[in-house]
Amino acid sequence: MGNNDLRELAIACRDGDRRSFETLVHSESRALIALAYRYTGDWEVARDLTQDMWMRVHERIHRWDPARSFRAWLLAVHRNGCLDHLRRAWVRYEATPGEEAIERLRLVSGDGNPEEELVRREFHERLLAALGELSESQRQVFVRVDLEQNNQKEVARALGIKYTTLRTTLHFARKRLATLLRCMEEAL
């Protein structure tokens, strides 16, 4: 669903239209379950977290500013819920940011073409190796922005760094990863 369609539905939902809310739940839940799965590695828990997130959205949608992206707001609410769950579960997310999520992505299969699947898995193995070569700050920023697809300003706020610092760190992380991956491919 496009951003504009999503925004229209969200506005109707904010005005109390129950059908719009149901349509939102049906159209966005798959992506949200996938996001929660990247945090938890458990489909059932990911579904429960997604349901909890929709309840929060239902209660707080009047706080959403239509001038902002609804999808970004939705994802922010969902990520906060997932992180709360990890904190409650005593999972030390901060210690190994994104590693488990990357591992889970490696296990995900593609459309079924064996050759493409093999290429994709090999690339993913190299990515895991290259990620280990980044500094802690570069890895944190890359995982939170590019892998978890968080809003860059929100990540900067969460990490307690300036937005410009995050942008610079992210730029170097991407460049370093690209260099490492290119070198790995050339070495094959």
Partner 1 sequence: MKKGIDCDVFHDQLDALKEGSLSEEGLEQLRLHADACSECAMSLKLHEHLASALTNLEAAVPDELVASVWPGVEAEVNVKRSEHPGDRSVRRGRSWLVPTLAAATLLLGVATGLLYKELTRVQARERVLAQTVTAQQSWLAELDQRTSANATALEAGLSGPGWARALPRREQMTIAELSDLLRRMPARATVLTTSQAETLLGAIPVWTPPGWRNAIGEIDIRDGVRAGELVEILDTLGVDPEMTLRTSRVLDLFRG
Rg (CA), the chain: 18
Q: What is the residue type of 38? A: R
Q: Quick one: which of 7, 104, 159, 161 contacts partner 1 (CB under 8 A)?
A: 104
33 closest CA partner among 99, 78, 86, 89: 78
Q: Quick one: which of 58, 87, 157, 162 contacts partner 1 (CB under 8 A)?
A: 58
Per-residue binder mask for partner 1 (CB under 8 A), 14-43, x = binder: -xxxxx--x--xx--xxx-xx--xx----x
Q: At what angle do helices 3-14 and 18-40 cross, to 10 degrees?
A: 120
Site for partner 1 in 68-97 (CB under 8 A): none
How far, in whole angstroms, is CA 174 from its chain's centroid? 17
Looking at residue 148, what DSSP letter applies? S
| Rounded alpha-carbon distances, angstroms, from residue 28 to 16, 50, 170 | 18, 10, 28
Nearer to partner 1, 92 or 115 (CB): 115
Site for partner 1 in 138-167 (CB under 8 A): 146-147, 149, 152
- What residue ranges bind partner 1 (CB under 8 A)? 3, 12, 15-19, 22, 25-26, 29-31, 33-34, 37-38, 43-44, 46-47, 50-51, 54-55, 58-62, 104-105, 108-111, 120, 123-124, 127, 146-147, 149, 152, 171, 174-175, 177-179, 181-182, 185
